[in-house]
């Protein structure tokens, strides 16, 4: 019925069979930005948000998000991640928290969705922890920066 590999000949959604794919090292890097008010950034950096250490909790939430990706995205394969790293950088001049994730696996399918889910969950955690002091928080620019491995090789955002 279609040229999409997540659908069978009758148009039903399916999980792609990856059993014949070669096992290779695969890495994906994703990022997003969380825009906050200057006052919110100051509270985060001073550790004065009532719900706790925003950056540490967001880092842990991002790692958990990467691990839980197949529970959230219906056609993703469950993967045994080799690593899931989350970096949060606060740009005080622009009041932006830049979140970057790097996920890695030795497997038959890529980890792009895990990397994207990781930054998304970390960003949502920042929103949740800070919404009482800043309802105008913006989560923006969620994107894949790089993927390495598999048949298609390397791809990098231009």
pLDDT in tens, 95-123: 999 999 999 999 999 999 999 999 999 99
Q: With contact defined as beta carbons under 8 Å apart, do 140 and 35 qualify?
A: yes
Provide the token pair at 108. Answer: 């038959």
Give the Cα-Cα-Cα angle 10, 14, 19 (nearest 5 degrees).
125
CA-CA-CA-CA torsion for 58, 51, 73, 86, nearest 10 degrees?
A: 0
For the chain, which domains are there?
24-156 (3.30.70.640)
| Residue 2 confidence (pLDDT) | 46
**Which of the residue ranges 5-9, 74-78, 153-157 would you say has the lowest mean pLDDT?**
5-9
Q: With contact defined as beta carbons under 8 Å apart, do 87 and 55 qualify?
A: no
pLDDT in tens, 49-85: 999 999 999 999 999 999 999 999 999 999 999 999 9
- Exposure string (b/e) for 16-35, b if CB count within 10 Å is 16 or more? eeeeeeeebebbbbbbbbbb
Kindly state the average pLDDT of the residues 4-16: 78
Which residues is 31 bridged to in the sheet?
100, 143
53 catalytically annotated: no
pLDDT in tens, 28-55: 999 999 999 999 999 999 999 999 999 9
Residue among 17, 33, 71, 128 flagged as catalytic: 128
Q: Which residues contact 107 (CB under 8 A, 6 or more apart)?
A: 23, 24, 26, 79, 80
Strand 96-107, strand 138-148: pairing:
unpaired
């Amino acid at each position: 019925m279609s040229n999409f590999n997540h659908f069978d000949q009758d148009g039903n959604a399916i999980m792609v069979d990856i059993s014949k794919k070669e096992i290779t090292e695969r890495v994906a890097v994703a990022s997003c930005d969380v825009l906050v008010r200057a006052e919110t950034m100051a509270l985060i950096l001073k550790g004065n948000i009532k719900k706790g250490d925003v950056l540490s909790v967001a880092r842990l939430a991002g790692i958990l998000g990467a691990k839980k990706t197949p529970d959230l995205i219906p056609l993703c394969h469950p993967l045994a991640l080799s690593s899931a790293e989350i970096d949060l950088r606060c740009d005080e001049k622009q009041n932006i928290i830049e979140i970057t994730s790097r996920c890695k696996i030795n497997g038959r399918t890529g980890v792009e969705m895990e990397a994207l889910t990781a930054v998304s969950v970390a960003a949502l955690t920042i929103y949740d922890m800070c919404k009482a002091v800043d309802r105008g928080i913006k989560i923006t620019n969620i994107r894949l920066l790089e993927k390495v491995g598999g048949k298609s090789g390397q791809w990098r955002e231009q």
